Amino acid sequence: MGKQYETVIGLEVHVELATKTKIFCGCSTAFGAAPNTHVCPVCAGMPGALPVLNRQVLEYALAVGLATGCQINRYCKFDRKNYFYPDNPQNYQISQLYLPICHDGGIDIETPEGVKRIGIHEIHMEEDAGKLIHDEWEDCSYVDFNRSGVPLIEIVSEPDMRSADEVIAYLDKLRLMIQYLGASDCKLQEGSMRADVNLSVREQGARQFGTRTEMKNLNSFRAIARAIEHERGRQIDLLEAGEKVVQETRRWDDAKEYSYAMRSKEDAQDYRYFPDPDLVPVAVDDAWIARIRKRQPEMRTEKRKRYLEEFDIPDYDAGILTSSKKLADVFEAATAICGKPKKVSNWLMGETLRLLKENNQDPQDIRFSPEHLAKLVDLVDEGAINGSVAKEVFAEIFARDVDPGQYIEEKGLRIVRDEGALRSAVEEVIAANPQSVADYRGGKDRALGFLVGQTMKAMKGKADPAAVNQLLRELLPRQ
Amino acid sequence: MELLELSALELGRRIRAGEISAVEAVQASLSRIKEVEKDVHAYVTVDEEGALTRAREVQKQIADGTLNGPLAGVPAAVKDNICTAGLLTTCGSKILGNFVPAYSAQAVESLERAGVIVLGKTNMDEFAMGSTTETSAWGVTRNPHNLAHVPGGSSGGSCAAVAAKECFFALGSDTGGSIRQPSSFCGVTGLKPTYGTVSRYGLVAYGSSLDQIGPIAKNVGDCAAILEILAGRDEKDSTSVARADGRFTEALTDDVRGLRVGIPGDYLGEGLDGEVRAAVLKAADVLKEKGASVEEFDLSLTEYAIPAYYTIASAEASSNLSRFDGVKYGYRTKEFDGLHQMYKRSRSEGFGPEVKRRIMLGSFVLSSGYYDAYYLKALRTKALIRQAFDRAFEKYDVILGPVAPTTAPKLGESLSDPLKMYLGDIYTISANLAGIPGISVPCGTDSKGLPIGVQLLGDCFKEKNILRAAYSYERGRADTASDPAKKAVE
């Protein structure tokens, strides 16, 4: 029997804040603009330009700090981290080292062994760097400073996690919390949430931590889980072979399921941190903290509880609806309009999640308006369209946010209330399907379903199935 | 010639009165520049066309009443580390030899809004590092009082331009004495305001926590009037403050009765030239005669100011100057293999020796393992120096002393011994460390005819105290001695 190893994991999570403008200037943070169009002398590092802190950044950082039970530094400062790289126009990054805004908090995660607290060492604010675009054909590189100065918070956990499952649970909780706060959309794929994994292994029961490595370039929860398993295995193999783990930064290649060393501690840079003299220290007083605390939105647990009481929907529904801020927002908005919570919930839990999955999206990507969903629920309720047409209409709402009322009129999908038209359609179906008619009369109920289907088809779906059913029973009386 | 003798305020008054036009004032300055620049070399860039165009616009606005400020139409020069949109801003360095900013410094915008006309950019020590204007990549500036001597630095170009009447006033920047010391050497009046009074937006940073822009002019009244235009909170500079007491010209009362003046004994000891000492003490006597109380006291901690200053300023500079890397603007080496060689060569070729020395010094004091021993200790020293001034200002309204230990040295004497050059900053740098305002006022000449300045320091935000003392002294001096500012290059 070989030795038993324990994995020790701490995370550094970068979250891009949802401010409209950058952390130290008025440039837009919008994603996807043409290169160097969201740039000014400040975020391009021009001589003489000076940073001025965006107050909203501080408020978001405080909101996240309070939600994660952190202590708030009443006097906090920004520091410069000095290093040369072309994506960094000043050749220093404005960050926080000595007095970060939040410290010593933690969040509870669910594990098979029960609730576990994951400590948060600190949360600090900093600016993002620009983006380098390498042109392999011309042997040169271009810099896009649109992202330079986009605000980030870095949430540094304690080394409290012991497995990939715990890491995912922690990240999931953190992400949901930040989404609920509106502080970020936290999309891993787009990079608005990025997690670096610090991992070491030690023999079960050992008191000392092993040597850790830092893993970068993890763009999905799956990549994180895979990278953790891989790195754990790699380190144990080293130790089993009598070798040492080298403290280094590694880069994960998810396609190849493999990581490689980027730089070791020996060539780690000396960042020569010092307080940024261009920014004044920030004093946070009790009144400010109280104001932010008061503004904190309802978080998932409270929301879930309220859904049960207020909307009388199953706990299962409430659990899923609150698992995404966006889903919960759409649910509440649509319900407020149509007043039919369970029906709205059904659309969100059924078709919405199915289509999202089909498109490889998550609830953050929902683009349709709650008004249109509410209207669809009403249209079905009024009997204006039947269930299968409703699904078809919803697909259009989901994809293009169409107005369902308008859409069914344009496409002529409204149920035909014309008794005569329906009667002649049913009569035609009866005439064309003598076998099924005989079967039904002979007691086979299933045959009636077939006849209803045939009638619906003849009506191009625009009939009310209940009315068709009713009419068939009338015309084919059984003794 | 008579026009060029006018103070900025007097010129402004005559322009408003219609006796002189802004265009005439600019033309007079430009022809004076043409006449003396080959000797003085105060300017790096002269914007002849821009200044004349602007003068015509300003004159029109004065005529139609939209511009009526005290300095409307007055031609001025701007130190070359203060950004001017569309006009070369080199900081006296090869690395910014081709840099034309797309924006103007807030201070320049304030002047332009007041109708001041920018003639050009003045020479300076590279990135304001130096005390002689000899570290400029564009050649030395000569002292208009004696061309064999330096004008001081780093705002040597601005001070020489004012002294040689190549402009009516100039903007300088002061990180450790860079306005006051060259003002003293050139026989002009230079004011370093309280840290935060003038926006630093657009001032190419040297030591960000110490840098201040300030006026250099022919007399105290001009300095007060210029500061009124410059001072104020700027949303683009987090370290700038709103000044409720911004009417600085109100302090020009020629009344120092009851004013408490202290002279630090520490500033009169070893190393101070005898002639400078005598002239400074004579200035104190003038204030005493006018009703101020004057006494000597012990300021203490003076000897720690220089090491603390060079540690803090160099540390900040090492970071501030890292953006000059050949990637985005400025000088890039011609041949290189890869990014790191491009960085290395561009910076090696682009920066001069004094700048490199301070970048290395600054990088060292910030490096891991040395941060606490040097940088942090320097910050603590800075705090103690601030406290020493706090104690002094409980007893005195104004601290009076020399600006520099000597008058202007000869060209070429200083650079060979940087340590000696650093020691020359001893009386000026404490004001930057403490953030307090200081003014240099001409107080005579030495036996070689070189100007001497007296320095008046006030508590934070008490510019009015030093302006009051300086103005009163200036009035008294005019009665007792001839004005040294009037003697430069004839």
Q: Where are the domains of chain A?
A: 5-287, 298-411, 419-475
Count of beta carbons in the 10 Å neighbourhood of residue A249: 16
Contacts of A274 in chain B (CB under 8 A): 315-316, 319, 366, 371, 375
CA atoms of B74 and A473, how far apart (whole Å): 102
Q: Phi then psi for B44, rounded to 5 degrees?
A: -95, -40
Q: Which residue of B has its CA nearest to A52?
A: B238
Report whether B252 contacts B465 (CB < 8 A).
no
Contact state of B99 with A47 under an 8 Å Cβ cutoff? yes
DSSP letters for B168-228 = SEEEEEESSSTTHHHHHHHT-EEEEPPTTSB--TTBPPSSTTT-EEEEEESSHHHHHHHHH
- Look up B178 and say whether it is catalytic: yes
Q: Which of A50, A80, A270 sits opposite B201 (nearest CB)?
A: A50
pLDDT exceeding 70 applies to what percent of chain B? 97
pLDDT above 50: residue B375: yes
ipTM above 0.90, yes or no: yes
Identify the pLDDT of residue B365: 97
* A20-29, A139-148, A274-283, A435-444, range with the lowest pLDDT: A435-444
Stretch A373-378: mean pLDDT, rounded?
95
Its CATH class, for the domain covering B2-266+280-297+391-486, is alpha beta
Q: Which residue of A has its CA nearest to B210?
A: A277
Q: Write the single-letter amino acid at B329.
A: Y
CA atoms of B456 and B284, how far apart (whole Å): 10
Q: Which of A50, A86, A92 sits opposite B322 (nearest CB)?
A: A92
> What is the CATH architecture of A419-475?
Orthogonal Bundle (1.10)
Q: Please report where in the chains the tokens 């020293």 appear, as a residue.
A: B381
pLDDT above 80: residue B1: no
Contact state of B235 with A90 under an 8 Å Cβ cutoff? no
Short-list A449, A455, A389, CA closest to A424: A455
Identify the pLDDT of residue A57: 98
Stretch B87-104: mean pLDDT, rounded?
98
Q: Which residue of B has its CA nearest to A141?
A: B339
- Look up B79 and say whether it is catalytic: yes
CA atoms of B94 and B66, how far apart (whole Å): 41
Contacts of B237 in chain A (CB under 8 A): 50, 52
Identify the pLDDT of residue B232: 96
pLDDT above 80: residue A336: yes
Identify the pLDDT of residue B481: 45
Contact state of A86 with B239 under an 8 Å Cβ cutoff? no
User: Given B7, B21, B29, B79, which residue is catalytic?
Assistant: B79
Q: Sorting pLDDT into bands at 50, 70 and 90, what band is B420?
A: confident
What's chain A's length in residues? 479
CA atoms of B19 and B337, how far apart (whole Å): 63
CA atoms of B404 and B42, how far apart (whole Å): 21
Q: Residues B286-314: pLDDT tens digits?
A: 999 999 999 999 998 888 999 999 999 99
Q: Residues B196-226: pLDDT tens digits?
A: 999 999 999 999 999 999 999 999 999 999 9
Q: Which residue of B has its CA nearest to A24?
A: B236
End-to-end CA distance of chain B: 10
Stretch B99-105: mean pLDDT, rounded?
98
Q: Phi then psi for A333, rounded to 5 degrees?
A: -65, -45
Q: Residues B424-483: pLDDT tens digits?
A: 999 999 999 999 999 999 999 999 999 999 999 999 999 999 999 999 999 998 654 445
Q: Which of B239, B323, B328 sits opposite A278 (nearest CB)?
A: B239
Report whether B451 contacts B159 (CB < 8 A).
no
Instruction: Suggest the residue from B238, B329, B345, B375 to mutate for an interface test with chain A (most A CBs closer than 10 A).
Output: B238
DSSP letters for A149-214 = T-EEEEEEEPS-B-SHHHHHHHHHHHHHHHHHHTS----TTTTSEEEEEEEEEEETT-SS----EE
CA atoms of B308 and B374, how far apart (whole Å): 8
**How many DSSP H helices and E strands does chain B contain?**
16, 11
Report whether B116 contacts B74 (CB < 8 A).
yes
Task: Name the most confidently modeled range: A89-98, A383-392, B266-275.
Answer: A89-98
Report whether B41 contacts B123 (CB < 8 A).
yes
Q: Residues B113-149: pLDDT tens digits?
A: 999 999 999 999 999 999 999 999 999 999 999 999 9
CA atoms of B120 and B51, how far apart (whole Å): 8
pLDDT above 70: residue A422: yes
Q: Phi then psi for B3, rounded to 5 degrees?
A: -55, -40
CA atoms of B301 and B388, how far apart (whole Å): 8
Short-list A474, A316, A468, CA closest to A386: A468
Stretch B86-94: mean pLDDT, rounded?
98
Q: Which of A51, A89, A92 sits opposite B319 (nearest CB)?
A: A92
CA distances from A427 to A124, A231, A305, B125 (A): 74, 71, 53, 102
Q: Cα distance from A33 to chain B (closest Cα, Å)?
A: 20
Per-residue b or e along B304-318, where b marks 16 or more CB atoms closer than 10 Å to that residue's CB: bbbebbbbbbbbbbb
Contacts of A92 in chain B (CB under 8 A): 319, 322
**Helices A55-67/A286-295 angle, 10° precision:** 70
Beta-bridge partners for A140: A135
User: Given B131, B178, B199, B440, which residue is catalytic?
Assistant: B178
- The answer to whether the bond into B416 is cis (omega within 30° of 0) is no
pTM comes to: 0.89
Contacts of B102 in chain A (CB under 8 A): 41, 46
Q: Cα distance from B428 to chain A (closest Cα, Å)?
A: 21
Half-sphere exposure of B12 (CA within 13 A, CB side): 22
Q: Write the single-letter amino acid at B36.
A: V
Short-list A229, A269, A222, A258, CA closest to A9: A229
Q: Which residue of B has its CA nearest to A42?
A: B236
Q: Is B340 helix (H, G, I), strand (E, B) or coil?
A: helix
pLDDT above 80: residue B323: yes
Task: Characterize the bridge pairing of strands A140-144 and A213-216.
Answer: unpaired
* A348-357, B44-53, B474-483, range with the lowest pLDDT: B474-483
Q: Which of A80, A274, A280 sits opposite B238 (nearest CB)?
A: A280
For residue A332, give every residue at least 6 positions away whose Cβ sits within 8 Å of its Cβ, in sequence order, or none. Answer: A370
pLDDT exceeding 90 applies to what percent of chain B? 92
* A362-366, B390-394, B463-467, range with the lowest pLDDT: A362-366
